[in-house]
Amino acid sequence: MKLKVKLLDLEAGGKFIVVLNREDAEDLGASGLSRVKMSSGSKSMAAIVNVAVESVPRGYIGIYNEVKKYFNLKDGEEVDVEVAQFPTSVYYIRNKLNGKKLAYEEILEIVKDMVSGVLSEIEIAAFVTALHTFGLDLDEATSLSLSMVETGKKLDLKRPLIVDKHSIGGVPGDKTTLLAVPIIAASGLTIPKSSSRSITSAAGTADRAEVLMPVNLGIDEMREVVEKTNGCIVWGGALDLAPADDIFIRVEHPLSIDPLLLPSIMSKKKAVGASLLVVDIPTGRGTKVKTIGEADLLAKDFMELGRRLGIKVRCAVTYGEQPVGYAVGPALEAWEALNAIMGRSQPYDLIDKAVHIAGMLLEMSGKSESGCGWEMALEVLKTGRAEEKLREIIGAQGGDPKIKPDDIPLGSEKITVYSRRKGIVLWIDNASIVEAARLAGAPKDKGAGVLLHKKIGDKVSEAESLATIFAERAGKLERAINIFEDFPAIGVGDRMNMLIHEVRERPVAKKAFILER
Amino acid sequence: MKLKVKLLDLEAGGKFIVVLNREDAEDLGASGLSRVKMSSGSKSMAAIVNVAVESVPRGYIGIYNEVKKYFNLKDGEEVDVEVAQFPTSVYYIRNKLNGKKLAYEEILEIVKDMVSGVLSEIEIAAFVTALHTFGLDLDEATSLSLSMVETGKKLDLKRPLIVDKHSIGGVPGDKTTLLAVPIIAASGLTIPKSSSRSITSAAGTADRAEVLMPVNLGIDEMREVVEKTNGCIVWGGALDLAPADDIFIRVEHPLSIDPLLLPSIMSKKKAVGASLLVVDIPTGRGTKVKTIGEADLLAKDFMELGRRLGIKVRCAVTYGEQPVGYAVGPALEAWEALNAIMGRSQPYDLIDKAVHIAGMLLEMSGKSESGCGWEMALEVLKTGRAEEKLREIIGAQGGDPKIKPDDIPLGSEKITVYSRRKGIVLWIDNASIVEAARLAGAPKDKGAGVLLHKKIGDKVSEAESLATIFAERAGKLERAINIFEDFPAIGVGDRMNMLIHEVRERPVAKKAFILER
């Protein structure tokens, strides 16, 4: 059926929706919520059908912005519409629902149909749920990784050796990448680092880096920066390395499940052409992975999946019981990282983590012939070569290479939290710190966040300051401070205080879900 | 935020969608695909947010027809919109995703939020998938049944004893209800029968009955009919007995899973106040339940769930290896049933099934004191009292009580299929018969369908007619006949023909999914 385009100026958060006149829909045999195949020029897609009585006359097709953009449509243009064939990939999803293992060709078909809009949210949600409940074995994880690479763009750097690092996330304030990438690039290795924005955290690496430089680079711009500087720190979202992953995340987030952790990470590393990779697995009560045993098992899977994809993987199981460094929130973290790389401050844990992760890659690549990579990395940091490289990258990405920590605007609304007793800091609750930072406005308000003044093991006097909360708006500061009052985020006591709290009635378990990966 | 209504004349197949101006959406903190709570008068709902730049100006809210209908909105009216709280029910769904058993209060919350539009399709799909993969135990099935009753309307007949019958479906041509309900009502029992339309079959009981009388009755009209005649045969969809079920079906259908079979059926029986129920479980290769052992297990679950809901259940495990009677398709089936109840034809299996199912209820209720219910039922049928009652019901529901079989329009396009050899009918493939009837236009084209001339065990000469396919349009007849040629639907051979077919290469398993319940 030939129909004339009527642009509707409506958006549905990424879904492909078209509106047919009720009678045209009936003639086509497509009623509400079914799918049509729509073609224009050489492109075609499957779109969800809504119907209208008068607002879309017979012979016309109402077009949502997502569809307009895909085809680059204009009002009045003619397009071809037919009832969509029932996608074979749905049969494969049904097989997974019944516990069957899927083959590569089947998974590829599912991922392709997902990316081209053929699958509905119901089908995608069922697939992700089945992956969560039945689990996926390494064959399926490999197939998923390769399918996600297959359906995305590739970086195609003409370099013999490409390395990468990745944290599975979960520990607040983790600005390690802002130090590790410059150290690695300054050592002569090529590291095309793409990062994500925050989903459930207070800041993603892309949010942190954006305080220092533009990060919304396309894949060609990214290639230019890496060819010039050996490294980059860009947002992955504009690169289209694995568009399937954005769709998976849209489903995983409301359900708080994350069965695609491994394929999601590994597909992007494959797409940038990495052959050496260090995966950071922060471990501790407030992170994704609670125990070292669990971390080791996950590491094994990463290494095996890497082997199948032709990527040599080593994992760093790291301490994650408290934020890394003192700052949590985009601007605060960028400020802390810039100070640290300039040698103006010494957040020891941050530096230790950065040089060890950089060091592992230096060892794997054979750059550190002594065999002690972290010492070599520390040397690169201390001599200022890392700072120089960071500024080079900032400049190449279009930022101000002369940026000073004082240039970074922090939230003007702030309040400091004081200890009610003297003692030492016994624990810091990551989830509460993140919640406070988010209530204060992070990551959207870049100046919002939490700056710790004490960390675990530090001595505290009565009424000494523990942390300062920053916000850009007074109302948000108010909300954030309440969290500190309701759920103490920092525990101060004597070394022998064994009781954390009493459980007197059925407790409400607040469980934070960490999707960043 | 107060916003002015702008009706959009768009429909989304039952979902609640509103369109905000992008800036209003940002002020509210609601972007694409998030939810807002919308209130007007004393009613409120959660709606999915789409956004627009110009077509919905600031200060306005674009309204889909489903939302308009719910609130009865007019253009320019003011409504209140705020960001929806994160629904607690999603936590319960997450628990089910992790294999936890849900309590009644939790399931009620999920079903309530589903019915009021608070839950997204992603969340509902995940819930249904988890019910399918983990299964639901009888406690959860009870909770689901009660929650579905709780969120729907009730019939509230002021009668001491209400009985009901139900088939879980799956056997084509099953017009048993058209005979059984009049027999039961004519015997002095009250049977407020609601039926479904076809989803994956060639005709649902509501489609069949609609050929004889209006079936789209509201709950008050239904009550009137039953008070007048002791029975009715109406479509369940307009009654709102369990609106949750329609939403579940919307998700189950594309996924071909049916974890809600038991709660779905039992909730509607509870909602009409039934205390005695016969559940028909057709059994055989072409039906939902393949073996008698499986049927017995399912029967046990029905009886136990009934006990918990205060409904005494007996199950009839019935023969389902071929269609019931000779006709498949709405008009053909109504025509066959009317002929049979008038004593003009003798489709023995149909009559046998109807009197046995009616007889079981007569025995359970104590109406048949002899203890032989089916003989009493047959007597009611033979003496014409069942016909009289059917005509009474037809009249009460607004149909022509004097309707004759010849008044029923059958498809004018038809073609007869002949046997290529002589022998006896060894098997009839239910799925192929259904597919042919659907391709011919059933259930939408009421006159379309398949009329068998032979059934299993019948002798056939060479070139004798096996079946006639009816359609309302020649093009559809063409499609239907192809099926008969590609996949023989009726197997004719000698008693000793043991080979059904050879498998020479990887076969494509065509598996029919039957959702009717």
Coil, strand or helix at A22: helix
A130 in reach of chain B (CB within 8 A): yes
Per-residue confidence (pLDDT) for residue A277, from 0 to 100: 98
Mean pLDDT value across residues B309-328:
96
Per-residue confidence (pLDDT) for residue A83, from 0 to 100: 82
Kindly tell me if the per-residue pLDDT of B11 is higher than 90.
no
C-beta separation of A423 from A494 below 8 A: yes
Hunting for tokens 């999803």 — which residue is that?
A93
Q: What is the pLDDT of residues A115-164, one digit of tens each?
A: 988 888 899 999 999 999 999 999 999 999 999 999 999 999 999 999 99
Cβ–Cβ of B251/A122 closer than 8 Å?
yes
Residue A104 CB burial class (10 angstroms; 0-12, 13-18, ≥19): middle
Nearest to A207 by CA among A215, B333, A387: A215
Question: How many other CB atoms are found less than 10 A from the CB of residue B99?
Answer: 10
- Give the residue ranges of DSSP H helices in A152-234: 176-186, 205-210, 219-229
Both tokens assigned to A310: 């032709």
Share of chain B above pLDDT 90, in %: 77
Low-confidence ranges of chain A (pLDDT < 50): none
Cβ–Cβ of B9/A94 closer than 8 Å?
no
What letter represents residue B8's amino acid?
L
Q: What is the pLDDT of residues B466-477, one digit of tens each?
A: 999 999 999 889
Backbone angles phi, psi at B473, to 5 degrees: -130, 140
Rounded to whole angstroms, how far apart are CA atoms B258 and B516? 9
CA of B160 vs chain A CAs: smallest distance (Å): 42
Of A90, A99, A125, the CB nearest to B122: A125
Both tokens assigned to B161: 């004893």
CA of B302 vs chain A CAs: smallest distance (Å): 23
Nearest CA in chain B to A255: B94
Which of A133, A134, A444 to mutate to test binding with chain B, by most B CBs within 10 Å of its CB?
A133
68-107 of B, contacting A, C-beta below 8 A: 90, 93-94, 97, 99
Kindly tell me if the per-residue pLDDT of B380 is higher than 90.
yes
**Confidence band (pLDDT; 50, 70, 90) for B508?**
low
Q: What is the pLDDT of residues B168-207, one digit of tens each?
A: 999 999 999 999 999 999 999 999 999 999 988 999 999 9
Nearest to A137 by CA among A267, A278, A259: A259
Which of B33, B127, B257 to mutate to test binding with chain A, by most A CBs within 10 Å of its CB?
B33
Coil, strand or helix at A491: strand
**Confidence band (pLDDT; 50, 70, 90) for B108?**
very high
Instruction: State the helix-helix crossing angle for A348-365 and A373-382, rounded to 10 degrees.
Output: 120
Per-residue confidence (pLDDT) for residue B506, from 0 to 100: 63
Rounded to whole angstroms, how far apart are CA atoms A226 and A184? 12
Instruction: Tell me which chain B residues have a C-beta less than 8 angstroms from the C-beta of A90.
Output: 254-255
Share of chain B above pLDDT 70, in %: 98
Per-residue confidence (pLDDT) for residue B514, from 0 to 100: 84
CA of A245 vs chain B CAs: smallest distance (Å): 16
Cβ–Cβ of B14/A32 closer than 8 Å?
yes
- Give the residue ranges of DSSP H helices in A211-341: 219-229, 243-255, 261-271, 292-309, 330-341
Cα separations in angstroms, A446 against A178, A206, A214, A412:
16, 12, 14, 11
Rounded to whole angstroms, how far apart are CA atoms B9 and B66? 10
Per-residue confidence (pLDDT) for residue A506, from 0 to 100: 63
Nearest CA in chain A to B251: A122
Instruction: Tell me which chain A residues have a C-beta less than 8 angstroms from the C-beta of B94.
Output: 255-257
Both tokens assigned to B72: 């009865």
Rounded to whole angstroms, how far apart are CA atoms B183 and B189? 9
Cα separations in angstroms, B363 against B277, B341, B377:
11, 22, 10
C-beta separation of A191 from A164 below 8 A: yes
**Confidence band (pLDDT; 50, 70, 90) for B445?**
very high
Going edge to edge, which strands form the sheet with B413-418? Answer: B327-328, B449-452, B465-471, B413-418
Cβ–Cβ of A133/B128 closer than 8 Å?
no
Q: Which residues contact A503 (CB under 8 A, 6 or more apart)?
A: none
Rounded to whole angstroms, how far apart are CA atoms A207 and A337? 13
User: Could you give the residue numbers annotated as active site of B?
Assistant: 258
Kindly tell me if the per-residue pLDDT of B32 is higher than 60.
no
Q: Which residues contact B247 (CB under 8 A, 6 or more apart)?
A: B14, B114, B115, B124
ipTM confidence score: 0.84
How many CB contacts within 8 angstroms connect chain A with chain B?
A: 138
Hunting for tokens 């400020």 — which residue is that?
A335
Nearest CA in chain B to A26: B444
CA of A129 vs chain B CAs: smallest distance (Å): 6
Which of B34, B129, B257, B258 to mutate to test binding with chain A, by most A CBs within 10 Å of its CB?
B129
Per-residue confidence (pLDDT) for residue B502, from 0 to 100: 77
Cα separations in angstroms, B210 against A209, B172, B215, B385:
66, 17, 6, 22
Rounded to whole angstroms, how far apart are CA atoms B352 and A193? 74
Both tokens assigned to B77: 């009216």
Cβ–Cβ of A257/B55 closer than 8 Å?
no
Of A11, A97, A254, the CB nearest to B123: A254
Per-residue confidence (pLDDT) for residue A33, from 0 to 100: 58
Backbone angles phi, psi at A22, to 5 degrees: -55, -40
Backbone angles phi, psi at B19, to 5 degrees: -120, 125
Both tokens assigned to B146: 């009660």
Of A9, A33, A255, the CB nearest to B13: A33
Mean pLDDT value across residues B131-154:
96
Instruction: Tell me which chain B residues have a C-beta less than 8 angstroms from the C-beta of A250.
Output: 33, 122
Per-residue confidence (pLDDT) for residue B30, from 0 to 100: 72
User: Could you give the residue numbers annotated as active site of A?
Assistant: 258
CA of B251 vs chain A CAs: smallest distance (Å): 6
Which of B6, B7, B11, B513 to mutate to test binding with chain A, by most A CBs within 10 Å of its CB?
B11
